[in-house]
């Protein structure tokens, strides 16, 4: 089999890239390790920036997102039981949208099925060959047979644990990492959200987040230790941990119910540089991870895909490699700013240690954030997404 761009991974980055390339007549094949059902069962991002919305529109699959997505003009931060609102709209003129990653993935999968572009699910033992040569190819096993896919380029969109980044010689890549000593325990439930806007909670017991997927579906998170086992968290225990962290109004409005998903995500900051190795280009979580506090992971995957799809289009349509040559530098410039914001929000809102000096620093910074228009504006600019 031969294609122009072999895409590894059918997460949002791979599916979005495939759709955009196809729109411009560029052939691509996606190889995904899991089944489609499994990919759709992973509950992850909820908040998307304008960049992501625009790209989903450009890919031609935005109809359901515009119908069901919730526009949020601001966010709330609760400290010591008192809520403070930061208005994105007033401070930046922009908003974000709440529309689940699962729904985006479904829209992209349906879009791909409608155009008949090939995706191989349950593709095992994917291996990348000759990435620094003229004729790269990918081998894999599917339906009990061995396959070889020849291509011009490989797009590594296979997430943090994927094979693409690991296929690069160690001396060609530099990793920068910070692992936080905590995770997020998340619950999805078919209960109405406590508030119309997201509430990020700073509390002596630890961080909490009240988010949502729709007016009838809530998503809550609480900070937990990395040693926690999700099995040790029956629903009742989760709600009892969440309640004392909320302000009075949110606690009164909280409707508890059975969870329809419950999982623990470790918090990590990670960037691998560069993002291009010969004919292999990394995009999304394959190249970088942010802790979820700033809601930036999926949005960064989308901005990588924007740069990369334009670069491939330039290569095939205008016979120019300028975009491909600049891809890594341009993508990383945006990645590092989102890394900074996600790290800063994580350090500001979580109970990282019992050190009272650090806790006082957090409270002083939060007070400054609420009182200073300059500080609130900086927060809002980063949350809605920095320009290209």
Instruction: Give the N- to C-terminal CA distance of the chain in Å, as an integer.
Output: 36
User: What is the contact mask toward ligand FAD in residues 314 to 353, using x (rule: CB under 6 A)?
Assistant: ----------------------------------------
- Selection from ligand PHB, ligand FAD, none that 119 binds (CB < 5 to 8 A by kind) is none
Contact in structure between 162 and 32 (CB atoms under 8 Å): no
Choosing from 200, 220, 221, 307, the catalytic residue is 200
Beta strands (DSSP E) in 294-374 are none
Q: Which residues contact 99 (CB under 8 A, 6 or more apart)?
A: 46, 48, 65, 68, 69, 70
Rank residues 13 and 21 by Cβ distance to ligand FAD and give the closer one: 13
Rank residues 31 and 348 by Cβ distance to ligand FAD and give the closer one: 31
Task: Specify the stretch interacting with ligand FAD by CB under 6 A; choose among 45-53, 246-254, 327-335, 353-361.
Answer: 45-53
* Nearest one of 52, 83, 25, 99 to 250, comparing CA atoms: 83
| CA 251, chain centre distance (Å) | 29
User: What is the contact mask toward ligand FAD in residues 268 to 297, using x (rule: CB under 6 A)?
Assistant: ----------------xx------x--xxx
Residue pointed to by tokens 């644990």:
161
Q: Is 74 an interacting residue with respect to ligand FAD (CB under 6 A)?
A: no
**What's the rounded Cα separation, in Å, for the pair 13 and 320?**
23
Catalytic-residue membership of 220: no
Rank residues 195 and 211 by Cβ distance to ligand PHB and give the closer one: 211
* Cis ω for the linkage preceding 274 (within 30 of 0): yes
Query: What 3-state class would DSSP assign to 290?
Result: coil
Rank residues 96 and 151 by Cβ distance to ligand PHB and give the closer one: 96
- Selection from ligand PHB, ligand FAD, none that 157 binds (CB < 5 to 8 A by kind) is ligand FAD
Least gap, CB of 56 to ligand FAD (angstroms): 13
**What's the rounded Cα separation, in Å, for the pair 312 and 316?**
6
Rank residues 39 and 59 by Cβ distance to ligand FAD and give the closer one: 39
**What's the rounded Cα separation, in Å, for the pair 347 and 225?**
15
**What's the rounded Cα separation, in Å, for the pair 75 and 53?**
19
Determine which residue in the list 55, 298, 335, 369 makes contact with ligand FAD, applying CB under 6 A: 298
Q: Which residues bind ligand FAD (CB under 6 A)?
A: 8-14, 31-34, 39, 44-47, 101, 123, 126, 157-159, 161-163, 184, 186, 265, 284-285, 292, 295-299, 301
Q: Write out the catalytic residue numbers.
A: 72, 200, 292, 296, 383
């Amino acid at each position: 089999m031969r294609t122009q761009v072999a895409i590894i991974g059918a997460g949002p980055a791979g599916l979005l890239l495939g759709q955009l390339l196809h729109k411009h007549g560029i052939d691509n094949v996606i190889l995904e390790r899991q089944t489609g059902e499994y990919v759709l069962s992973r509950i992850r991002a909820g908040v998307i920036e304008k960049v992501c919305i625009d790209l989903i529109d450009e890919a031609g699959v935005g109809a359901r997102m515009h119908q069901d997505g919730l526009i949020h003009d601001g966010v709330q931060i609760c400290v010591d039981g008192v809520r403070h609102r930061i208005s994105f709209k007033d401070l930046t003129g922009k908003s974000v949208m709440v529309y689940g990653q699962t729904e985006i993935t479904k829209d992209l999968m349906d879009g791909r099925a409608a155009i008949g572009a090939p995706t191989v699910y349950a593709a095992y033992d994917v291996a990348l060959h000759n990435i620094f040569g003229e004729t790269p190819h990918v081998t894999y096993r599917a339906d009990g047979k061995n396959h070889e896919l020849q291509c011009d380029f490989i797009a590594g969109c296979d997430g943090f644990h994927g094979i693409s980044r690991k296929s690069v010689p160690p001396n060609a890549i530099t990793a920068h990492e910070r692992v936080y000593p905590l995770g997020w325990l998340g619950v999805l439930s078919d209960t109405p959200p406590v508030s119309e806007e997201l509430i990020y909670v700073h509390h002596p017991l630890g961080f909490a987040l009240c988010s949502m997927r729709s007016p009838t579906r809530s998503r809550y998170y609480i900070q937990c230790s990395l040693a926690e086992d999700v099995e040790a968290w029956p629903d009742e225990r989760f709600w009892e941990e969440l309640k004392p962290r909320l302000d009075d109004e949110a606690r009164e409005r909280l409707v508890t119910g059975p969870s329809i998903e419950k999982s623990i995500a470790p918090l990590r900051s990670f960037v691998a540089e560069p993002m291009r190795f010969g004919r292999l280009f990394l995009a999304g979580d394959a190249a970088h991870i942010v802790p979820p506090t700033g809601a930036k992971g999926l949005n960064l995957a989308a901005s990588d895909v924007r740069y990369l799809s334009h670069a491939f289009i330039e290569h095939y349509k205008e016979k120019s490699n300028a975009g491909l040559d600049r891809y890594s530098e341009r993508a990383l410039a945006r990645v590092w700013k989102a890394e900074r914001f996600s790290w800063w929000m994580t350090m500001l809102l979580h109970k990282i240690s019992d050190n009272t000096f650090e806790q006082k620093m957090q409270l002083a910074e939060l007070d400054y954030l609420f009182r200073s228009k300059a500080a609130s504006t900086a927060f809002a600019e980063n949350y809605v997404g920095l320009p290209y």
